[in-house]
Structure 1
Amino acid sequence: MSTPLRIEGELTIYRAAELKDTLLAAVASHETLDVDLSAVAEFDTAGVQLLLLAKRAAAAQGRTVRLVGHSTPVIDVFELLDLSHHFGDPIVLPA
């Protein structure tokens, strides 16, 4: 069973430090973590780096992080940087 973590608002350099601690704590305490990106209104390369860090931390701990509910800003950045396939998660649009 997975545990959801919803990120709302900015996933940018302005919130990276705050979100890093929250995200890594969630990774460490759950076998499978679904990071819900449906409410992300702004997304930049710092957000990309944070999601990469979460994926790497989970893999190192034998855990799983899945990205779900990709918002339009997230999809736009993934497509711009050609990263959609790198994360290994299907693009799941919010309902």
Structure 2
Amino acid sequence: MTDVPLRRFAFDDELTIVTAAEHRERLLATLGDGTGVRLDLSGISDLDTAGLQVLLLARNEAARLGLPVEFTEASPAVAEVLELTRLEL
């Protein structure tokens, strides 16, 4: 990958079915601008399967576009889901 700047993208609430569509659109718009993202996961208070799909979408879409994506500072809620699902972001 080339040296693409990373834009910080922070979550400050739950990442669940209630908020997933909104976060999905924001993430896709950020990636659509040709900017890599650094996803700060420290503010996620609750994560369900819809939210997990948003995180996986960000990873896969960034890869498809050849853009970097970093996941940082997983909150306890995120860490628990990742452990249960045996996924690494």
Q: Give the alignment's TM-score, normalised by structure 2.
A: 0.88
Q: Give the alignment's TM-score, normalised by structure 1.
A: 0.83
Q: Partner of 1:67 in structure 2?
A: 71
User: CA contact under 8 A between 1:32 and 1:63: conserved in structure 2?
Assistant: yes
Larger strand share, 1 or 2:
1
Pair 1:35 & 2:17 matched:
no
- Tell me the matched-pair count: 85
Deviation at 1:45, TM superposition (A): 1.0
Q: Partner of 1:91 in structure 2?
A: none
Q: Secondary structure at the match of 2:26?
A: helix
User: CA contact under 8 A between 1:43 and 1:77: conserved in structure 2?
Assistant: yes
Q: Secondary structure at the match of 1:80?
A: helix
Deviation at 1:29, TM superposition (A): 1.8
User: CA contact under 8 A between 1:28 and 1:58: conserved in structure 2?
Assistant: no
Moved beyond 6 Å, runs of 4+? none
Q: Partner of 2:83 in structure 1?
A: 79
Higher relative contact order (CA 8 A, sep 6+): 2
User: CA contact under 8 A between 1:3 and 1:30: conserved in structure 2?
Assistant: no
User: CA contact under 8 A between 1:31 and 1:63: conserved in structure 2?
Assistant: yes
Unaligned runs of 5+ in 2: none
Unaligned runs of 5+ in 1: 88-95
How much is the aligned-residue C-alpha RMSD, in angstroms? 1.1
Deviation at 1:65, TM superposition (A): 1.2
Deviation at 1:73, TM superposition (A): 0.1
CA distance in 1: counterparts of 2:8 and 2:34, whole angstroms: 10
Q: Secondary structure at the match of 1:10?
A: coil
Q: Which moved more, 1:8-17 or 1:30-39?
A: 30-39
